[in-house]
Structure 1
Amino acid sequence: MKLKNPSITQVIRNAVTVTDGMTLLEAREFLLKHRVGRLPVLDKNKKPVGIITEKDFVRAIYKFNGKHVSKILVRDFMSKDLITITKNATIVDCTRLMQKHKISSVLVLEKNRLAGIITKTDIASVFLTQSAEPLRVSDIMTKDVITVMPADSLLLVESLLVKHKISRIVVQRNKKPVGIITNRDFIPAKMPKWIRDFADPKEVEKYQTNPNPDEFRMNQLSYILSFRAEDIMTPNPVTVNSDDQVSSAVLIMIRNGIGGLPVVKKSLLCGIITKSDIVKAIA
């Protein structure tokens, strides 16, 4: 795929950061408040020393099982192998780094200081304005889709996310997409559907806004045994047709703030297109 303007300066943006001494709970609040998928980590000298993503929060459930969440620090579970780039690099350079290291963002450095961040969302936006050739969704979509059924346990969902190193799972019934679950749905797990439907509205609000997830037993695997995929999935997911243009899929993703779309053909699930597929196409 050719781009009209390959410079990365058009996609560099300021990053929301945390310090390595913050707790998991504090970092979680930053993630949710700013609605971002990743947080570069700075040390006391303001130098980047790591990065944490939504996937890291999911993995932390396994790694720190039994440890009180208020005791877990950012430095305990952040990714320390930083992949960085400089301002004179190209978008293709950036996408190839993402592909090679299987990451969703690259930090931009200037004199060893954080100058910004480039994410797959930024790369996808470039496709809309800089792509020099049209592409169909079926040309770049991932055909082997990891799926679950609505009644499957969250233990299965979580294990599939970790095992396959993916960010979302399609919930399907009779080969039709009926929901989608992402890593963000585990920070912490949403309340069961029966509580949402029948509980007192004030209790529901208290449950949803409680800043301390201890009541969800966030760091104990047993808490998800009573939940099913349908309890936390986003129902009626937005889909695209396999014959649609990739530009249409990108526009839908950006407008809805999502990273992937189930692909259908005659209403039946036939694939999934994500920002990773777009990065791969450009690389």
Structure 2
Amino acid sequence: MNVEHYMTKNVITVSPDTIVLEALDIMKENHFHRLPIVKDDQLVGLITEGIVQQHSPSRATSMSIHEMNYLLNRTRVEQLMEKTVITTSKDTLIEEAALIMREKDVSVLPVVDENNHVVGIITEKDIFSALIDLTGYNDPGARLVISISKDQVGVLEKITTILAEANIGISHLFVQHPGEKIEVTIQIDHTETEEVEKILEANGYPVVQTVNK
């Protein structure tokens, strides 16, 4: 699954000479917290509510709201914007985009093409949505967590074969390694799990957790 599937494609951008107060109004009206800065169709920076707050006078000062707005109404975004912007491409895997965000400690990645044109933007919320879809948590059915005593080649094939022979469909499957344990989580299209648990346990695969949805 790539960034393209979850990014916002119709990205609102502003130019470097946009007034900060205007940029804040755009963010407020559209219910987001950052804006890519574009000049000559090229990404040149990023302005966020957080950046503006960092450059605003401290509450401990005597500056009034009127005076602060006066300054923000005369400050251009290019004077405050982050110029070294971490970006990604639309073909980047969602997992890789999440890793970039974590390692670089950012909550948003502008998506650019080979010519540095902005073609989208992806945020932490988009990554969360992708995670939920990847695990199938919102899909109907039930989820079973199986404990595996030893990681061996062919284990997943054996489990899927057992369920297939019992006419039980699998929509999602993933493996976790919490500590020294190995767990296989299976999303099935059945809501009656008691018989499924018996089948798995009879074949040496104990079910340690069941979630019916």
Q: TM-score, normalised by structure 1?
A: 0.42
Q: Which AA in structure 2 matches 1:77?
A: L
Deviation at 1:79, TM superposition (A): 0.9
Of 126, 132, 138, the match for 1:128: 132
Q: What per-residue deviation string (whole Å, max 9, x for no partner) do you get for residues 93-137 of structure 1? A: 101110111111111111221110111111111122112688xxx
Preserved contact between residue 8 and residue 120 of structure 2 (Cα < 8 Å): yes
Instruction: Find the counterpart in structure 1 of residue 91 from structure 2.
Output: 88
Alignment of 1:99-178 (within 5 A): 99-111=102-114, 112-131=116-135
2:8 aligned with 1:13 = yes
2:56 aligned with 1:57 = no
Q: Which AA in structure 1 matches 2:20?
A: L
Q: Which AA in structure 2 matches 1:49?
A: V
> In the aligned structure 2, how far is the partner of 1:79 from the partner of 1:23?
15
Which segments of 5 or more consecutive residues in structure 2 lack a partner in the other structure? Answer: 138-142, 144-213
Q: What per-residue deviation string (whole Å, max 9, x for no partner) do you get for residues 226-269 of structure 1? A: xxxxxxxxxxxxxxxxxxxxxxxxxxxxxxxxxxxxxxxxxxxx
> In the aligned structure 1, how far is the partner of 2:57 from the partner of 2:97?
31
Q: Which AA in structure 2 matches 1:125?
A: S
Which segments of 5 or more consecutive residues in structure 1 lack a partner in the other structure? Answer: 1-5, 135-283
Larger radius of gyration: 2
Q: Which AA in structure 2 matches 1:80?
A: K
Preserved contact between residue 110 and residue 122 of structure 2 (Cα < 8 Å): yes
Structure 1 runs (4+) deviating above 3 angstroms are: none
2:43 aligned with 1:48 = yes
> In the aligned structure 1, how far is the partner of 2:102 from the partner of 2:77?
26
Of 27, 30, 36, the match for 2:32: 36
More helix by share: 1
Deviation at 1:16, TM superposition (A): 1.6
Deviation at 1:18, TM superposition (A): 1.1
2:79 aligned with 1:76 = yes
Relative contact order higher in (CA < 8 Å, ≥ 6 apart): 1
Q: What per-residue deviation string (whole Å, max 9, x for no partner) do you get for residues 155-176 of structure 1? A: xxxxxxxxxxxxxxxxxxxxxx
Preserved contact between residue 3 and residue 89 of structure 2 (Cα < 8 Å): no
Q: TM-score, normalised by structure 2?
A: 0.55
> In the aligned structure 1, how far is the partner of 2:19 from the partner of 2:2?
36
Count of paired positions: 127
Partner SS, residue 19 of structure 1: coil
Partner SS, residue 22 of structure 1: coil
Partner SS, residue 92 of structure 2: coil
Instruction: Find the counterpart in structure 1 of residue 147 from structure 2.
Output: none
Q: What per-residue deviation string (whole Å, max 9, x for no partner) do you get for residues 68-112 of structure 1? A: 222111001111111111122101110111011111111111122
Preserved contact between residue 13 and residue 38 of structure 2 (Cα < 8 Å): yes
> In the aligned structure 2, how far is the partner of 1:9 from the partner of 1:32?
25
> In the aligned structure 2, how far is the partner of 1:101 from the partner of 1:62?
27
Q: Which AA in structure 2 matches 1:7?
A: N
Q: What per-residue deviation string (whole Å, max 9, x for no partner) do you get for residues 140-168 of structure 1? A: xxxxxxxxxxxxxxxxxxxxxxxxxxxxx
> In the aligned structure 1, how far is the partner of 2:17 from the partner of 2:74?
11
Q: Which AA in structure 2 matches 1:11?
A: Y
